[in-house]
Amino acid sequence: MQQKFYKYQGTGNDFVMIDNRQQQFDKNNTKLVSHLCDRRFGIGADGLILLENHNDYDFKMVYYNADGNESTMCGNGGRCLVAFAKQLEVISDKATFEAIDGLHHAEINGDIVKLQMQDVTAIDKKANHVFLDTGSPHHVQFEDDIDNFDVKTKGANIRYGEPYNEKGTNVNFVKKLSDDTFRVRTYERGVEDETLSCGTGVTAVAIAMHALNETTSTRVDLEVEGGDLQVSFDIEDGIYKNVWLIGPAKFVFEGTI
């Protein structure tokens, strides 16, 4: 069977997009998803995303990691899906869609997509790191020599170690560049490697840096391997609300496999 696909990337975080409004994709076939994401034997991507119909909203997002398993929220994937929905003429310049972590609002202007993320109500501050959930779980810690840091090895050790174990976590290494700018490198579970960008990751970093008083800004710039992202938020009674992930989402190519 042939499968039509589209390829998108958001600051180097790349995704296979499939229009599944007719429910023809085998959603339980983890080997198929893994194959399509394989960079040598398939299309190549950090994840695969299905765009599906929704009774109440513009569309539904179903996200799979490159290992073939359905996963938690992907911020850059959500932004790319909004761009894909516009290409399919499902939306024009605004969208409301459902993902695994609930309802999301988005706006698109050219290549720039703003995606509203979930509120963050709990930030676990430890001696040498911060843990929080921004739709996906994230461990955040500082590293001074971030350019030469072994993200894959050190990230995997944290991802599989205590206290995360089998469930695992995404791991973000951060260097402060100025009061409102931070450099971020991320190890993503499910990909089991460093990715060029992670949307929920930079969202976690921005909020963690504010919670640690490393920044006073409510709009934070994040430099990732694949480009630049911004995160803005409001704070109300210790809860981070109106959280927006902002950055480019671009169509790369389409094909049939």
The predicted model gives 171-198 an average pLDDT of 97
Which domains are seen in the chain, by residue range?
4-116 (3.10.310.10), 123-246 (3.10.310.10)
Distance of CA 160 to the CA centre of its chain: 20
Among residues 16, 99, 106, 198, the one annotated as catalytic is 198
The predicted model gives 204-215 an average pLDDT of 98
Distance of CA 203 to the CA centre of its chain: 9
Rounded Cα distance, 42 and 16, in Å = 10
For helices 199-211 and 75-87, what crossing angle results, to 10°?
130
Q: Which residue has the higher pLDDT, 167 or 62?
A: 62
Return the exposure string of 121-138: e unless at least 16 CB atoms fall within 10 Å of the residue's CB, then b. eebeeeeebbbbbbbbbb
The predicted model gives 204-210 an average pLDDT of 98
pTM: 0.96
In this predicted structure, the answer to whether residue 41 has a pLDDT above a threshold of 90 is yes
Q: What is the pLDDT of residue 166?
A: 78
Annotated binding site for substrate: 13, 65, 75-76, 170, 188-189, 199-200
Closest Cα partner for 171 from 206, 212, 141? 141
Q: Is 37 a known active-site residue?
A: no
Q: What is the pLDDT of residue 167?
A: 86
The predicted model gives 86-103 an average pLDDT of 98
Q: What is the pLDDT of residue 165?
A: 82
In this predicted structure, the answer to whether residue 57 has a pLDDT above a threshold of 90 is yes
CB-based contacts of 118: which residues, under 8 Å, 6+ apart?
Answer: 73, 101, 102, 134, 135, 243
Among residues 32, 33, 37, 74, the one annotated as catalytic is 74
Q: What is the pLDDT of residue 228?
A: 98
